[in-house]
Amino acid sequence: MLDRIQRLKEHALSELEVVDDPESLRAWRVKYLGRSAELGEMMQALKDLDRDQRPVIGREVNQTKTALEEAYEKREESLRIAALEHSLQHQRLDVTLPGRPLPQGRLHPATQTLRRIYSIWAEMGFQIYRSREVETDEYNFELLNMPAHHPARDMWDTFHVTQPGILLRTHTSPGQIHVMRERAPEPIRVILPGMCYRYEQLTARAEIQFNQVEGLAVGKHITFADLKGTLISFAKRMFDQDVGTRFRAQHFPFTEPSAEMDIECFLCGGEGCGVCKYTGWLEILGCGMVHPTVLRNGGYDPEVFSGFAFGMGPERIAMLRYNIEDIRLFWGNDLRFLEQF
């Protein structure tokens, strides 16, 4: 058996020396190191040998297999180097050709829209104020004029955490209380951007997480006319100087009076199309005068101070600007979508 193993080893190595292409090398490996190779048959035959012969023969088979594997790897590497040298010597290489362009990263469309919104409000004298995403029930609802069991809470499907009274904020409005309590009784002019979370069914127009930009202005003698003028100026800067606007009465617990703002559909010029559902108008935000209770909870005397607030969705604005029909595309990470921006 030992002589047979030695002869097999010598024969395999001599055959390997004349292998000169990858296909022949693969065939050699199957013949001598494959599952049905002669070495494998020898290992199977160990059980039929005498007990004192088994360790000697088994050790010799394993050593032979290791030697053949090492010789195979060396031959494979030498063939690879030879192929590379042949390619460099015989294939023409035009070093004057320009290099292949590397793909460049881009800002996410939601980020682009947010930055445009920040820039417009900064030009109009508003500061950016960041507030936390994990909120208490008190700040998210109660201090915004929605006590426990208030029916208006049904407007926001809420993610609650295990600790009682702690939740993921459903809107950026809790930031109003934070900034008012920090700065009272000074005047305020801020925007409060951030991520919001709602336990909703995923659809083409609804997500469980989305960006929102809150706005707040508090001071003496602020009127609804100031609110309208400010928002109309924003719309003209964001969309077009000639864009038409309108305000519709609405109800929000933390503002009184409240309204929703529409812009004239810039795709059809107000004549009606699929994007505006043939109304000629597109809703972009909700707004209103800060409710006296909210002002008082923020540390301001509603007899002296007044203010307005608004909330807009950047993804909603991006959908309108770029005629995007499915909000889920913003979070799908599909490069075919993202590379368009």
Query: Does the pLDDT of residue 262 top 80, yes or no?
Result: yes
Q: What is the pLDDT of residues 190-203, one digit of tens each?
A: 999 999 998 877 77
Residue 206 has pLDDT above 80, yes or no: no
User: What average pLDDT does this structure show over 8-37?
Assistant: 83
Comparing 181 with 265, the larger pLDDT belongs to: 181
Closest CA to 133 of 187, 180, 192: 192
Asked whether 106 and 339 are in contact (CB, 8 A), the reply is yes
Rounded-to-integer distance, Cα 309 and Cα 227, Å = 8
Under 8 Å between Cβ of 221 and 200: no
CA distance 127 to 131: 13
Question: Which of 72-76, 149-153, 225-229 has the lowest average pLDDT?
Answer: 149-153
**No. of helices (H) and no. of strands (E), the chain:** 11, 9
145: left (phi over 0), alpha (psi -120 to 50) or beta: left
Q: Residue 1: which pLDDT band, with cuts at 50, 70 and 90?
A: low
The domain spans of the chain are 2-90, 109-338
Q: What is the pLDDT of residue 205?
A: 65
Token output for 204: 């083409």
What DSSP line would sit under 123-149, residue for residue? Answer: HTTPEE----SEEEHHHHTGGGT--TT
The 10s digit of each residue's pLDDT in 266-309 is 767 778 876 677 888 888 899 999 999 999 999 999 999 999 99
Confidence (pLDDT) at 166:
94
Is the CB of residue 141 less than 8 Å from the CB of residue 182?
no
Q: pLDDT above 70 covers what percent of the chain?
A: 96
Higher pLDDT pick, 92 / 112: 112
Q: What whole-number distance in Å separates Cα of residue 127 and Cα of residue 115?
A: 13
Mean pLDDT of the chain: 87
Cα distance between residue 110 and residue 103, in whole Å: 20
- Of 12-16, 180-184, 241-245, give the range with the top mean pLDDT: 180-184
- Note whether 247 and 257 are within 8 A (CB): no
Residue 333 pLDDT grade (very low, low, confident, very high; cuts 50, 70, 90): confident
37's CB contacts (< 8 A; 6+ apart) are 30, 31
Between 74 and 153, the higher pLDDT residue:
74
- Give 74-100 pLDDT, tens digit per residue: 888 988 988 888 887 777 777 788 888
User: What is the value of pTM for the model shown?
Assistant: 0.67
Distance CA 126, CA 312 (A): 15
Closest CA to 67 of 5, 24, 3, 126: 5
SS (H, E, C) 8-41: HHHHHHHHHHCCCCHHHHHHHHHHHHCCCCHHHH
Quick one: pLDDT at residue 65? 82
Per-residue pLDDT band for 27 (boundaries 50, 70, 90) equals confident
Contacting residues for 18 by C-beta, under 8 A, at least 6 apart: none
Mean pLDDT of 105-121: 92
Identify the CA nearest to 199 among candidates 260, 142, 153: 153
Q: Select the more confidently predicted residue: 93 or 128.
A: 128
Percent of the residues in the chain that have a pLDDT greater than 90, as a whole number: 41
Weakest-pLDDT range from 51-55, 166-170, 171-175, 225-229: 51-55
Alpha-carbon span 26 to 19, nearest angstrom: 10
Q: How far apart are the first and last CA of the chain?
A: 72
Long-range contacts of 223-230 (CB under 8 A, 24+ apart): 223/306, 224/257, 224/289, 224/308, 226/308, 227/287, 227/288, 227/289, 227/308, 227/310, 230/124, 230/308
Is CATH 3.40.50.720 the right assignment for the domain spanning 109-338?
no
